[in-house]
A and B are shown apart, each in its own frame.
Chain A
């Protein structure tokens, strides 16, 4: 199994541009989330989804949109990129209730200039 696949691995954007970070999982996991990782701040939850058609905001949702039209895919859209969105973005999924931890993708390193 591929697990959680994120594309692209690296991206440079100009301020004001928009783009979509892709995330796909092949484990039939119900729950998916997007995190951003900044130095000294750990991982902060941007948006999450508990199933197809259901999404909700996390701690830092401003400037980002998500949708979950299928179980497999959970894209993250940056509407108008800002330098403060320079970060490493991780997508993660988990099967559901219980002891299941998250399975993480390998990350997208985004720089906004």
Chain B
């Protein structure tokens, strides 16, 4: 199926690291994405990882992919109050242009 699952909430203190987790079920996924949604706005692409990679780092963001367990995570280093938002993971199937999104994780960063 196309189930993509995330926990609904995460709360961290400013300056700590945040880790947002996602599991997916379809091993044919080619690309996995992380999107950020701020209140009242659309989704903004943060980063992506190809399914044959284990890790990708982009400034404060680190994406880890465990293909065996179908587990994806997004680590935000030195989390700031501006990082407070809803984070969605999404998978894209090979030769297909449907994206399947998780339900989103609401990150709350306390000062």
Contact = CB atoms under 8 A, between A and B. Distances in A.
A104 B13 CA distance: 29
B43 A104 contact: yes
B45 A42 contact: no
Nearest to A30: B97
Given A42-B88, A99-B50, A90 B97 contact: no
Contact of A106 (B35, B42, B50, B99): B42
A102 B88 contact: no
A104 B42 contact: yes
Contacts of A50: 97
Interface string A27-58: 00001010100001111010010100000001
Chain B interface residue number, banded: 20 to 34
Contacts, number: 58
Interface in B67-111: 88, 90, 95, 97-104
Interface in A57-113: 58, 90, 92, 94, 96-97, 99, 101-107
Nearest to B8: A40
Contacts of B95: 97
Nearest to A43: B101
Contacts of B98: 33, 45, 48, 58
Interface centre among B4, B42, B44 (most CB of A within 10 A): B42
A41 B43 CA distance: 15
Nearest to A94: B97
Contacts of A4: 42
Contacts of B40: 107
A42 B103 contact: yes
Interface of B: 4, 8, 31, 33, 35, 40-45, 48, 50, 88, 90, 95, 97-104
